[in-house]
Amino acid sequence: MTMTKDINDWRATLPEEWTVRLTGEDGEEREIPLREHPALARYASKDEAVKALVHAQKLLGRTPEGYIRLPGPDADAEQMAAFHAALGRPESPDDYTLPELELPEDLELREELIAGLRARAHELGLTPAQVAGLYHWFLPLVLDAHHCLRDEAQRLRDSELESLRAVHRGETPRLLDKALRAAEAIGGEELLDALTRTGAGDRAAVISAFAKIAPLVLESGLRGAPSGWGEELSREKLREMMQDPRYHDPSRRDDTYVTKVRKGFEALYPGNYVPGGQI
């Protein structure tokens, strides 16, 4: 590098033995005379270069305005809190404001989930804008997944019901009623709720299985079924019998007939029968 005689000739007064290592454009590091260093070319005189050096020394160890120092690996909770606050994290998780998004009528976000989101965001040091942006992006994805699962569940129910209709045709409603009553008699509301939550109650094989054991559970002596029932015992049949004057007309009341209806309800709802309560 050859230094020309111009306003920067002051560099020529620097001792030639003062050298410095410089990485060139080719990536190679070389040792050159200090007076040929490109950084000195910006100063018109030695005085300007010295003043710049003194100013740079004053800045060493100081934090420039707007600069946030990254905590080290050994930073304590107080230092991390100060760092997150400088980045814009609110004081409390409750200070995060989530955008208003339209939800389906059959879907409601649980408060504990929203509280957990805010707490985790605060722990990670996220800013309100970051949390709102993530929420606005992620919630529609959850809703789409919810809709897909719901639609798939409905398709499964329709498919299973269609398979039952293909086999039982017009008897399908009666089959469904028998299966429901058998499941209720065996496990009550707890079993019915489990079948609903797991989707097992929508499967044709499960419905058929409960329908097959219905006679044993509902109409056999094991469940105290009344004698004298020549036809299949069902809720619909009992409703029909209650319309008979022998049951509801005091002037034509038949105690034997009324007893038969009562025992029918006792057989359908063992342990839960309340006179006049089951219709």
Residue-by-residue DSSP string for 81-125: HHHHHHHT--SSGGG--PPP----TT----HHHHHHHHHHHHHHT
pLDDT on residue 53: 81
Which ranges of 99-229 does DSSP label H, i.e. alpha helix?
111-124, 128-168, 172-198, 204-214
Chain centre to alpha carbon of residue 181: 35
Q: Is the pLDDT of residue 222 over 50?
A: no
pLDDT on residue 206: 93
What angle in degrees, to the nearest 10, is found between the helix axes of 255-268 and 235-242? 160
pLDDT average, residue stretch 120-130: 94
pLDDT (tens digit per residue) in 84-99: 888 899 999 999 999 9
Domain spans of the chain? 9-59, 226-279
CB 19 within 8 A of CB 34: yes
CB 44 within 8 A of CB 7: yes
Higher pLDDT pick, 28 / 126: 126
> Which amino acid is present at 54?
V
State the Cα angle at 102 between 101 and 105, rounded to 5°. Answer: 140
CB 36 within 8 A of CB 1: yes
Higher pLDDT pick, 62 / 121: 121
Interatomic CA distance for residues 43 and 54, integer angstroms: 14
- What are phi and psi for residue 85, nearest 5 degrees? -65, -40
Residue linked to tokens 């490109």: 38
Higher pLDDT pick, 109 / 57: 109
Q: Is the pLDDT of residue 204 over 90?
A: yes
Q: Is the pLDDT of residue 126 over 90?
A: yes
pLDDT on residue 93: 94
pLDDT average, residue stretch 164-192: 88
Question: Mean pLDDT in the chain?
Answer: 81
Question: Is the full-model pTM beyond 0.85?
Answer: no
pLDDT on residue 239: 80
Structure tokens at 177: 């009623």
11, HSE (Cβ side, Cα atoms, 13 Å): 21
| Sign of the torsion formed by the C-alpha atoms of 246, 248, 250 and 256 | positive
pLDDT average, residue stretch 130-136: 94
> DSSP readout, 34-53?
GGG-GGGGG-SSHHHHHHHH
> DSSP readout, 221-257?
GGGTPPS---S---HHHHHHHHTSHHHH-GGG--HHH
Structure tokens at 273: 């029968």
Residue 268 class from Cβ within 10 Å (0-12 exposed, 13-18 middle, 19+ buried)? Answer: buried
Residue 79 pLDDT class (50, 70, 90 cuts): confident
